[in-house]
Amino acid sequence: MNHLFHLKQQDRIGWIGLGEMGYSMANNLHRYLASLHLNMTVWNRDPAKSAKLHHHGAHVAKSIEDLVAQSNIIFTSLADDAAVEEIYTQLIDLAGQVDHSIIFVETSTIYPALATKLYKQLSVYPQHTYLQCPVFGRPPVAKAAKLIWVTSGDEKAIKKMCLYFTTMSKSIIHLKTTDVAKACNFKLLGNFFFVGTMELLAEGLTLAEKADVDQESVLKFIEALFPAPTWLEYSRKMANGDVSHTEAGFSVDLGLKDVGHMQKLALDSGASLPTADLAYRHLKMVQDQGLGGQDWSSLINSLRSASALPEILPQYPNEKEVFEGEEGVQSNKVGAREV
């Protein structure tokens, strides 16, 4: 009862950003709050997405100003650095105009310097708190509430927010640092392992075909020796010709954004990252063909083209097996969309 009283009296949650990730995350959090007879306020530039959550009972703010006025916790889930900076320019300005304190929880994949910038700008108003808490997981994983959260920022605020993180995740990695840039570094490192795995698989599968090695046997080998979800998912996508489908996946355009951040982080840190350089070049070749909306596993087509192999063409099977990978569980419906 004391816990519920605390929620009712103090926590008024707002959510900005209802893309494919944000919507599922917000919906899971809303369900939890609704089970306690509480509500959540949402805002999205596309009102249709807000209306969908309103149908489930969430309150829709008329504007960002309205949301800030009603909330003392605000989650943001946005597509890229430009969107994050645009929204936070407004949020920080509004934060200076309200009497109540607000915890801002930024969950997007952004460059570390931007997180530091936003933290410093918001620190002008000491009653407010900025947390950088990116997530690992694609839309189906977000929908299943199995995300992995990474936390950085004020320890007391993070402890309070864990109650809500658990409604959207299967685990939380606490970096135990007030340096919000560290969570961005961690997210980019994690995504590097995924794109590196994908680059390795693309090269290996291309070599297998050129060397006349049976693809199905290669897949069985991977399943027996490297049964990690990411290896299983991407090897089968590439071998089975599913690389053009981005529903529940991650697009070439977004992949280039993330790999570009990895390269810059390596440069700024004095590290060498040749695998990221290769992946960037192969993704850019796909984008230059006007296919930036394809799943980023389509980078294999750059290797196939260089190896005088035909590109993998779109296939539209009725069903797919389900795998839980680095960004989530692969949907059993095939379509075209990204993270």
Look at phi and psi of residue 256 and say left if phi exceeds 0, alpha if psi is from -120 to 50, else beta.
Answer: alpha
Look at the alpha carbons of 47, 140, 34, 156 in this order and tell me if their dihedral is positive or negative: negative
In the prediction, which pLDDT does 196 show? 97
Percent of the chain with pLDDT strictly greater than 70 = 88
Question: What average pLDDT does this structure show over 43-66?
Answer: 93
Greatest Cα pair distance, the chain, in angstroms, is 69
Q: How confident is the model at residue 113 (pLDDT cuts 50, 70, 90)?
A: very high
Q: Which two tokens stand for residue 333?
A: 């419906």
Q: Is the pLDDT of residue 14 over 50?
A: yes
| 160 or 315, greater pLDDT | 160
pLDDT tens-digit map of 127-171: 999 999 999 998 889 999 999 999 999 999 999 999 999 999 999
pLDDT tens-digit map of 185-204: 999 999 999 999 999 999 99
Q: Is the pLDDT of residue 330 over 70?
A: no
Instruction: State the pairing for strand pair 13-16/40-43.
Output: parallel
Query: Which residues touch 331 (CB under 8 Å, ≥6 apart)?
Result: 140, 247, 248, 320, 322
| 34 or 333, greater pLDDT | 34
Helix axes 20-35, 47-55, angle to 10 degrees: 30
pLDDT tens-digit map of 208-231: 999 999 999 999 999 999 999 889
Question: What average pLDDT does this structure show over 23-41?
Answer: 94
Is 77:108 a contact under the CB 8 Å cutoff? yes
In the prediction, which pLDDT does 157 show? 97
In the prediction, which pLDDT does 320 show? 38
Q: How confident is the model at residue 315 (pLDDT cuts 50, 70, 90)?
A: low
pLDDT tens-digit map of 246-273: 666 789 999 999 999 999 999 999 999 9
Tell me, rounded to whole angstroms, the distance of Cα 14 from its chain centroid: 19
In the prediction, which pLDDT does 314 show? 58
Q: Is the pLDDT of residue 239 over 80?
A: yes
Q: How confident is the model at residue 325 (pLDDT cuts 50, 70, 90)?
A: very low
Is 12:73 a contact under the CB 8 Å cutoff? yes
Q: Which two tokens stand for residue 126?
A: 């000491």
Q: How confident is the model at residue 35 (pLDDT cuts 50, 70, 90)?
A: very high
Q: What is the pTM of this model?
A: 0.88
Which domains does the chain carry?
Answer: 2-179 (3.40.50.720), 184-329 (1.10.1040.10)
